[in-house]
A and B are shown apart, each in its own frame.
Chain A
Amino acid sequence: MMLDSFLIRAALAGLGVALAAAPLGCFVVWRRMAYFGDATAHASILGVALALSFDVSVFAGVLAVSLAMATTVSTLSGRGYAMDTLLGVLAHSALAFGLVAVSFLQGIRIDLMGYLFGDILAVGKPDLAMIWGGAAMVLALVAWRWSALLTATLNPDLAYASGIDPKREQMVLTLALALVVAVAIKVVGVLLIAAMLIVPAAAARPFARTPEVMAVMAAVIGGVSALGGLQAAFVFDTPTGPTIVCVAAVLFAVASLIDLIRRAVA
């Protein structure tokens, strides 16, 4: 059967994450939430430690901790804290506490590198089901709220005047972000999840005239990065998660260069 090949499973896992991350990544870019994504993703290593010590599924642990972190950050952001500093503190201390917590786990052989940088080649059929299930949920959530999310992103008062509660839309984004983190941890790992959100969206920007086109192009660029990265990792024998992000970064550089040349000519 097709899914018996680990390479096919890896490719499908990468595509699933790229698809879910693309539209959400656009909102992360538009709303300047890059650090927010970082904090949420970094906190998830704490979720891994908790899940292993309480013997629940890693997915559930990561989802719970990411959601708690994302909610905390999004609540604080409404109260006029110096967000830049606060997010820097939260993102890195969450990672540090997570790493310390993992070191307490005695007797369990834990592949720390696998969680930090992902282990896409070890994706099994249950993982695949989880990744595509999560991705489908994220896509459905974002598609359902798309117009309201966009309006709230443009201006909160404009949203209120149209009968949309921007705080509710912020919660939708928060939930979707936690889901993406939980889904992506196996594929690119805690440290590089934010890259999968931001880099494809940023690469798509110069070629899009509407938000919808940007989201679709980000998905395509993310998908190409996942497949290209997998291929490159196989050829050069490099770690897969970081290679995927490298391919995305190269695509971003090419896109920026094309944009630069186009502007110079015009």
Chain B
Amino acid sequence: MSRLIETRGLSVQLGSTEVLSGVDFHIDRGEIVTIVGPNGSGKSTLLRAIIGAVKPSAGQISRAPGLRIGYVPQRLHIDPTLPITVARFLGLPRRVSRARAAAALDKAGVPDLAERQMAGLSGGQFQRVLLARALLDKPDLLLLDEATQGLDQPGSAAFYRQIEEVRREMGCAVLMVSHELHVVMSASDRVVCLNGHVCCHGTPEIVASAPEYRALFGTGTQGALALYRHDHNHTHDAGCGHDHTHANENEAAQ
């Protein structure tokens, strides 16, 4: 299996804080890998280091030669003074033909949006347009940074189904960061639990039962694990991790 990205001993310093220290990480062709971790654990920083937006303070990142990365950022605020249609947005920074733009929008599940203004899209449509843009170059690796933030639960579930479909169709590897453990873990080949360093990694089941993971996510993981096993009869006890997240999401969506 060919390595797409490999980091060895990767450390990143932002200001005076060391956000990542000694991270060994890799992703191979066609894999779906999810990074989980509490807020401030350096998940997004790892992704940003991979795209070259932050410089490592130690260690190295090696990329497969000619690697094409499609990046879906966490949140994108477009200033209301900037008029831009979906079609024009897809053509940045390199112009693409109408047909290619239409094909990418189709793959992302929003075929009819080309002439709409970016500012007029709903949260779910916006994320799909970002996905379409990431798919334009037929990437070997799709990077998703909390791509469903601000979507409600059905919306984000639909979004992840779309990702799975895209991977089936295009065969690209997917590296995603998410706090929605139950949704993303079920679709992942491997899970990496991050908290400044790699706490534990492996298949979703191995990670979910690892003591390091339980220490980070507490009792809420039982709910997540139950969902992962597609058991919908579990109870949402107060303080349950994903239940909390869900409430926050609804707020963000309003």
Chain A residues within CB distance 8 Å of chain B: 29-32, 147-148, 150-151, 153-162, 164, 201-202, 205, 208-214
In the bound complex, what is the Cα–Cα distance between A209 and B94 (angstroms)?
Answer: 19
In the bound complex, what is the Cα–Cα distance between A210 and B117 (angstroms)?
Answer: 9
Cβ A209 vs Cβ B52 within 8 A: no
Residues of A within 8 A of B52 (CB): 160-161
Residues of A within 8 A of B51 (CB): 157, 160-161
In the bound complex, what is the Cα–Cα distance between A154 and B53 (angstroms)?
Answer: 15
Residues of A within 8 A of B143 (CB): 161
Please classify the interface of chain A as helix (H, G, I), strand (E, B), loop, or mixed, using the class held by over half of its residues: helix
Cβ A157 vs Cβ B93 within 8 A: no
A161-B71 contact given A208-B83, A211-B83, CB 8 Å threshold: yes
Residue of B nearest to A205 (CB): B81
A144 → chain B closest CB, angstroms: 13
Cβ B83 vs Cβ A151 within 8 A: no
A236 → chain B closest CB, angstroms: 32
A30-B76 contact given A157-B48, A162-B93, A210-B85, CB 8 Å threshold: no
Residues of B within 8 A of A158 (CB): 71, 73, 76
Cβ A209 vs Cβ B92 within 8 A: no
Residue of A nearest to B15 (CB): A80
Chain B residues within CB distance 8 Å of chain A: 48, 51-53, 69, 71, 73, 76, 78-79, 81-85, 88-89, 92-95, 117, 143
Task: Show 16 residue pairs from A and B whose CB-CB distance is below 8 angstroms, ordered by the A residue.
Answer: A32-B79, A147-B95, A148-B93, A151-B92, A155-B76, A160-B48, A160-B52, A161-B52, A162-B93, A201-B81, A202-B81, A205-B83, A209-B85, A209-B117, A210-B84, A211-B83
In the bound complex, what is the Cα–Cα distance between A182 and B71 (angstroms)?
Answer: 39
Residues of A within 8 A of B85 (CB): 209-210
Residues of A within 8 A of B82 (CB): 30, 153-154, 211
In the bound complex, what is the Cα–Cα distance between A183 and B9 (angstroms)?
Answer: 51
In the bound complex, what is the Cα–Cα distance between A211 and B78 (angstroms)?
Answer: 12
Cβ A147 vs Cβ B94 within 8 A: yes
Q: Which of B53, B81, B83, B92 contacts A157 (CB 8 A)?
A: B53
Residues of B within 8 A of A162 (CB): 92-93
In the bound complex, what is the Cα–Cα distance between A148 and B93 (angstroms)?
Answer: 6
Residue of B nearest to A27 (CB): B82
Q: Which of A164, A202, A208, A209 contacts B93 (CB 8 A)?
A: A164
Question: 10 closest pairs, A vs B, by CB?
Answer: A161-B71, A160-B53, A147-B93, A161-B51, A151-B93, A30-B82, A208-B83, A151-B92, A210-B88, A29-B81
Cβ B53 vs Cβ A211 within 8 A: no
B75 → chain A closest CB, angstroms: 9
Cβ B71 vs Cβ A214 within 8 A: no
In the bound complex, what is the Cα–Cα distance between A211 and B83 (angstroms)?
Answer: 6
Residue of B nearest to A161 (CB): B71
Cβ A214 vs Cβ B92 within 8 A: no
Residues of B within 8 A of A147 (CB): 92-95
Residues of B within 8 A of A208 (CB): 83
Q: Which of B48, B71, B93, B117 contacts A150 (CB 8 A)?
A: B93
